């Protein structure tokens, strides 16, 4: 929290009061990441990245379900249920869930059929990311909302989806259909990222807003661990592991 955010003892902070600072920090961390600074995308790197992102997409919707179950407020649970349904069952904007969207766009473009992605195993860094997301979400229902919705807000607003889509089209010649996972997510996450604003109706304590702020930043750092881990594995020949230690990991499409 920046000094002077709260002007008087009676002032009540809102999500907008913390968000710009959160986004600024996350943008700086992203700019310094190995993933962001790779000089050129290659087919081999893209293939490995799609593999690990497929595990991410298959696993993280379960974290949002965990947040839904822990939230004590019916209105928030209803909004979270809508998010989980689009991630897990069907997103009406694209006619399938987000795991299927990844397989039919990024998976196919990188030369991987569904059976290939089903056989993928995680890099150790992917396990770290998933474990961290579940750990943050489990600390409190407010921090759960922060990581389930607030981080999507940051990723979307920071231009991650358009940056990655344009890089793949520029470096590998992929088409709009090939990068449909990004365009579908960009639209969906505009709505998913609005759920965190509902905390304004339930949170008044500065200490809680501090935890919300820090949870989003921690989540983004955890996400960058996955992305940088892909770069390290590609450059250093680091092999995947079985994933037995990660309870949140899912291999199911």
Q: Which of 143, 131, 155 is nearest to 213 (CA)?
A: 143
The predicted pLDDT at position 6 comes to: 41
Are the C-beta atoms of residues 83 and 149 closer than 8 Å to each other?
Answer: yes
The predicted pLDDT at position 97 comes to: 86
The predicted pLDDT at position 190 comes to: 67
- Write b or e for each residue in 152-191: b if 16 or more Cβ atoms lie within 10 A of its Cβ, otherwise e: bbbbbebebbeebbebbeebbebeeebbbbbbbbbebbeb
The predicted pLDDT at position 186 comes to: 58
Which residues pair with residue 91 across a beta bridge? 96
* CATH class of the structural domain 15-236: mainly alpha
Contacts of 191 (CB under 8 A, 6+ apart): none
The predicted pLDDT at position 5 comes to: 44
Contacts of 6 (CB under 8 A, 6+ apart): 13, 206
**Residue 191 to residue 195: CA distance in whole angstroms:** 7
**Residue 33 to residue 37: CA distance in whole angstroms:** 6
The predicted pLDDT at position 10 comes to: 58
**Residue 203 to residue 155: CA distance in whole angstroms:** 23
The tokens describing 213, both together, are: 């702020």
**Residue 45 to residue 51: CA distance in whole angstroms:** 10
The predicted pLDDT at position 7 comes to: 44
Are the C-beta atoms of residues 121 and 240 closer than 8 Å to each other?
Answer: yes
**Residue 40 to residue 175: CA distance in whole angstroms:** 17
Interhelix angle for 43-70 vs 124-137, to 10°? Answer: 20
The predicted pLDDT at position 76 comes to: 95
The predicted pLDDT at position 128 comes to: 98
The predicted pLDDT at position 191 comes to: 72
The tokens describing 22, both together, are: 């959160």
How does pLDDT run along the chain (253 residues), one tens digit per residue?
A: 444 444 444 578 999 999 999 999 999 999 999 999 999 999 999 999 999 999 999 999 999 999 999 999 999 999 999 988 888 888 888 888 889 999 999 999 999 999 999 999 999 999 999 999 999 999 999 999 999 999 999 999 999 999 999 999 999 999 999 999 998 765 665 677 789 999 999 999 999 999 999 999 999 999 999 999 999 999 999 999 999 999 999 999 8
Q: Measured between alpha carbons, how far is residue 109 from residues 50, 90, 106, 169, 178 in Å?
A: 10, 22, 5, 11, 5
The predicted pLDDT at position 9 comes to: 46
């Amino acid at each position: 929290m920046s000094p002077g955010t709260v002007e008087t003892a009676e002032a009540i902070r809102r999500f907008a009061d913390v968000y710009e600072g959160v986004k600024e920090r996350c943008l700086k961390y992203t700019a310094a990441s190995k993933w962001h600074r790779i000089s050129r995308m290659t087919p081999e790197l893209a293939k490995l990245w799609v593999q690990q992102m497929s595990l991410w997409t298959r696993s993280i919707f379960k974290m949002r379900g965990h947040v839904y179950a822990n939230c004590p407020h019916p209105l928030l649970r209803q909004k979270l249920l809508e998010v989980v349904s689009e991630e897990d069952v069907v997103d009406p904007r694209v006619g399938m869930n987000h795991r299927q969207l990844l397989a039919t766009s990024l998976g196919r473009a990188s030369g991987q059929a569904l059976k290939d992605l089903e056989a993928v195993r995680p890099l150790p860094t992917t396990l770290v990311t998933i474990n961290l997301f579940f750990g943050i979400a489990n600390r409190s229902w407010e921090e759960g909302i922060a990581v389930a919705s607030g981080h999507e807000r940051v990723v979307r607003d920071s231009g991650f989806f358009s940056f990655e889509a344009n890089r793949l089209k520029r470096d590998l010649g992929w088409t709009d259909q090939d990068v449909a996972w990004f365009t579908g997510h960009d639209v969906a996450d505009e709505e998913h990222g609005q759920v965190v604003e509902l905390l304004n109706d339930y949170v008044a304590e500065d200490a809680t807003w501090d935890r919300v702020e820090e949870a989003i930043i921690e989540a983004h750092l955890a996400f960058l661990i996955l992305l940088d881990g892909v770069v390290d594995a590609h450059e250093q020949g680091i092999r995947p592991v079985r994933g037995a230690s990660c309870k949140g990991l899912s291999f199911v499409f």
